[in-house]
Structure 1
């Protein structure tokens, strides 16, 4: 363990992991202090933007030889999800380094590891004096785990972001369990949260009332769950479609009713919907509207969340940065598995500005422990990730 324990890159990583930037209500001051201090020790320019009060964005920059060219943005988020310490083998903010080389900590996969890998990669170039054509920015943003309203969303809409002149971006994907294949995302599904309300006539539970909220509710539930079953079948053999490429529908909340023997006046159901990239969003909305009309009078729906459609980054050869990434990964004897992200990342806000983004976490041979108890990464895989990122950045910044 001594070699890992005394490794400066591992030491810096563990120090960052020890900061408990846990949602909700994160105090980011310790993260900002750590990141700005590291940037200055690495002799890299650093700026802290506060587009929204108490929601800082840290940007560390490696200046390029041709700063007028569109830049590279490597983005990560500082916040992490909550923990249940009783279910962890080691305290989640101790950043325990075990004798066999594993680092246990919340954020070790999602995504303080990726952020520090990005930072270490540009630090290596700065330390060696090797110059790249394009300027590279590494950004550390707040609040990704709670939707990014005051994080990347606000930052991407600001003049400060425009001043970065971003031509290509990277963000988190996921560690790969394979020893030679990295997982990348070129797009995301569109998240919609839909609440359907069914109104009927209240009355005694012994009646078979014609205008019945329960009947309408059943019709709506059948429509949504039938589509869910249809999409689920696509993920099963022999089709085996990746979950990011299908539409997922999950019933998450049910409300209504006053007593067992009283017919409810109102019943409502809320669905978490993640719409596949190839689905027309207007047609999808029209379908829900048609279901409500079919269910009867007094059935309406509303969007609690209605995210806009964000088009995926093209991988057809038309984006030179993607071509360069594929080429350099191949030269390293590795492969890329490109899929649609099943969840949501900050990349969607950058893509909204017509900037190509590839989600890229260069960590191999690592089981997925994102948001799980005992989240961990092996020191060797973290170090290898920096090696990979160094070569990738050289290729991207010289496009």
Structure 2
């Protein structure tokens, strides 16, 4: 039997979709009351308690296995020998961790549960970004009144006639993380009201009236932020 499935391509950032990608609770051993009530972080996302980027998501992106069919004789239509188990198999996962989680805790769970050496399993982390900025602080920009840049930004949007949704972490849709790594508070913002989110999709568009209104919003934001005292970039903690 050869099993095949098909679906839409994506960049792996989504947590809930046609296939209901799994969401991992790193604190499954000692769940909080909220987690206990909802059952899992996956249900927290589906129930609207947490945003997609506030949980750890794991997406299978490739799987390699099989013994190639010999070229001599009658080759298998699948390209693989169908009566022999392969000597090894390899799978790749896109794991996305919010800055509020401890990556060492995830590594511990991989070592102990997902890929323990006792099961003849090994793993390699292909790419891993920093979890703190150059001063050692978490890569998170404060979004409350303790941050004067946030307050000025919020008031400017409201003054322009706009509304702000609850701030959230966005995955792979911005390069703001590189600014935050330098210790510079960074906010990602797009005045795209009443517009479907079509990142990397076909026919990504912006209505002309939304575009023109967005210019006015940016005028208010730029005027407000440029009126604040200059931001002093923090020094590297290693210096």
The answer, yes or no, to whether TM exceeds 0.5 is: yes
**1:231 equivalenced with 2:20 (yes/no):** no
Alignment correspondent of 1:328: 156
Q: CA deviation at 1:260?
A: 2.9
Specify whether residues 384 and 268 from structure 1 end up closer, same or farther in structure 2 by C-alpha distance, changes over 3 A only. same
Distance 1:352 1:395 in 2: 24
Distance 1:227 1:385 in 2: 37
Number of residue-to-residue matches in the alignment: 177
8 Å CA contact 2:160–2:216 kept in 1: the answer is: no
The match for 2:131 among 304, 309, 320 is 309
Alignment correspondent of 2:57: 248
**1:271 equivalenced with 2:90 (yes/no):** no
Q: Identify the structure with bigger relative contact order (alpha carbons < 8 Å, sequence gap 6+).
A: 1
Deviations 1:189-218 (A, max 9, x none): 9xxxxxxxxxxxxxxxxxxxxxxxxxxxxx
**Structure 2 unaligned blocks of 5 or more:** 1-10, 14-20, 26-38, 68-80, 133-138, 229-239
**Structure 1 unaligned blocks of 5 or more:** 1-145, 147-188, 190-223
Alignment correspondent of 1:390: 219
TM-score (normalizing by structure 1): 0.41
8 Å CA contact 2:24–2:55 kept in 1: the answer is: no
8 Å CA contact 1:363–1:384 kept in 2: the answer is: no
Specify whether residues 231 and 343 from structure 1 end up closer, same or farther in structure 2 by C-alpha distance, changes over 3 A only. farther
Aligned-CA RMSD value? 2.6
Q: CA deviation at 1:377?
A: 1.5
Distance 1:257 1:394 in 2: 61
8 Å CA contact 2:23–2:42 kept in 1: the answer is: no
Specify whether residues 299 and 358 from structure 1 end up closer, same or farther in structure 2 by C-alpha distance, changes over 3 A only. same
Specify whether residues 265 and 307 from structure 1 end up closer, same or farther in structure 2 by C-alpha distance, changes over 3 A only. same
Larger helix proportion, structure 1 or 2?
A: 1
Deviations 1:39-68 (A, max 9, x none): xxxxxxxxxxxxxxxxxxxxxxxxxxxxxx
8 Å CA contact 1:366–1:377 kept in 2: the answer is: yes
Deviations 1:299-328 (A, max 9, x none): 111011112225110113232111101122
